[in-house]
Amino acid sequence: MKQYINTIKTENVNNFTVEFNRLENIIFPSFLEWDNCVLLSQQKESELPTHFSSNQFVSDRTAFEADYNHIHLNDIFDEGVHPDLILNIGIKILEVWTAVLYKEFNGLRKFMLILSYDAEEVVLRFYNVRKNEVPWLDSAKLDSYLDGLMLIEI
């Protein structure tokens, strides 16, 4: 990830206007608690079942959170927006999520926040770190991932 950040072209970052209404729920996040999970408030809350139930695709609450709480930032921007700009915005958003989660759950829960980047796509996600569940991302094997990863644990 460090090499991606070091190669961000400033001309691609400085000449762009962000439409905040398209990013409002992401830049100014609110989080909800649902069946012992912390979820990024999105438009899909109405699709949540009444309670968590594991299945063949989502084995536990950690996997559910990592899936539910992921945002493909490139999907929010028009085509032609340079990936360096989206990466830069993604880093800033992850910093905001960190601050808000820390403030809301200070000491009550541990979180892993992740930004992944492959020189084109930026994905943000987070999940609770639970003692009784396998982490969604194995931080001991970061070198085995093809994408650049930024991890923040709070």
pLDDT of amino acid 8: 64
- Check residue 41 and give its pLDDT: 93
State how far Cα 145 lies from the chain centre. 17
Q: What is the pLDDT of residue 2?
A: 63
Q: What are the residues whose beta carbons fall under 8 Å from the beta carbon of 154, sequence distance 6 or more?
A: 98, 101, 102, 110, 111, 113
Q: How far apart are CA 12 and CA 16, in angstroms?
A: 8
- The predicted pLDDT at position 131 comes to 93
Q: What is the pTM of this model?
A: 0.88
The angle subtended at Cα 72 by Cα 66 and Cα 78, nearest 5°, is 170
Q: Which residues of the chain have pLDDT under 50?
A: none
For residue 39, what pLDDT is reported? 96
| pLDDT given for residue 17 in this prediction | 60
Instruction: Give the pLDDT confidence score for residue 115 in this predicted structure.
Output: 96
Tell me how far CA of residue 39 lies from CA of 4, 48, 65, 74, 125, in angstroms.
29, 11, 7, 21, 10
d(Cα 108, Cα 132) in Å, to the nearest integer?
16
